[in-house]
Amino acid sequence: MHLQAIIFVLLGIFIVYRISMRVRRTIGWQQLHTGKLGTYTVILSIVGLIFFAEGLFHITSLLSNLIGIAAGCVLAYFSAATTRFEQRNGHWFYRSNVWVGGIVTVLFLGRLIYRVYDVYAQTQLPATSQGLSLSDRLQDMTGGWTSGLMLIMFAYYVSYNVILLRRQELRA
């Protein structure tokens, strides 16, 4: 087996693992850990800002990024409004809205599958087609509406985590 194939298999296993963890976290009760939520919020904010900064120079990307951020914030607000809290053994637990979490997960998976397919399709084309090199075609794929779909996820989780942290402060 080639090293490149091993890397793709390991990457695929990691992605499936993270998706299964995301689905499990969306469906069941989770203990409210303020430290974890704060760390996730900072990391997702930084990565989201990187995605946003990439699209600042193209009007289509900027527009899709702004729409994605707005949609993510609206979904987070709705999800937070329907989140249930429960105290067990002195610890707070929460259960997020399954439908909203499912929509965000499906959008992320759809974008991921589309990007993998698109990269695969682009690598199969001859490098001289349409006068573009392979690196130019791969660079061309990073813009457009797909970054807005990714920013829905980042905006949703950052906004949702901030709302949960604020609610935790009010409960304390």
92 pairs with which residues across the strands?
87
Of 133 and 96, the one with more pLDDT: 96
Percent of the chain with pLDDT over 70: 83
Going from the C-alpha of 78 to that of each of 29, 32, 87, the distances in angstroms are 18, 19, 22
Sequence-distant (≥ 6) Cβ neighbours of residue 46 within 8 angstroms: none
Look-up of token digits 């527009």? 63
Q: Is the pLDDT of residue 29 over 80?
A: yes
How does residue 1 score in pLDDT terms, banded at 50, 70 and 90?
low
Mean pLDDT of 131-150: 59
How does residue 140 score in pLDDT terms, banded at 50, 70 and 90?
low
pLDDT in tens, 35-65: 988 998 999 899 889 888 887 887 888 888 8
What's the CA gap between 172 and 160, in Å, rounded?
18
Sequence-distant (≥ 6) Cβ neighbours of residue 137 within 8 angstroms: 122, 125
The first and second tokens of residue 61, run together, are 């990307």
What's the DSSP call for residue 142? T
Predicted TM-score of the model (pTM): 0.75
CA angle centred on 33, ends 30 and 34, rounded to 5° = 135
Q: Is the pLDDT of residue 78 over 90?
A: yes
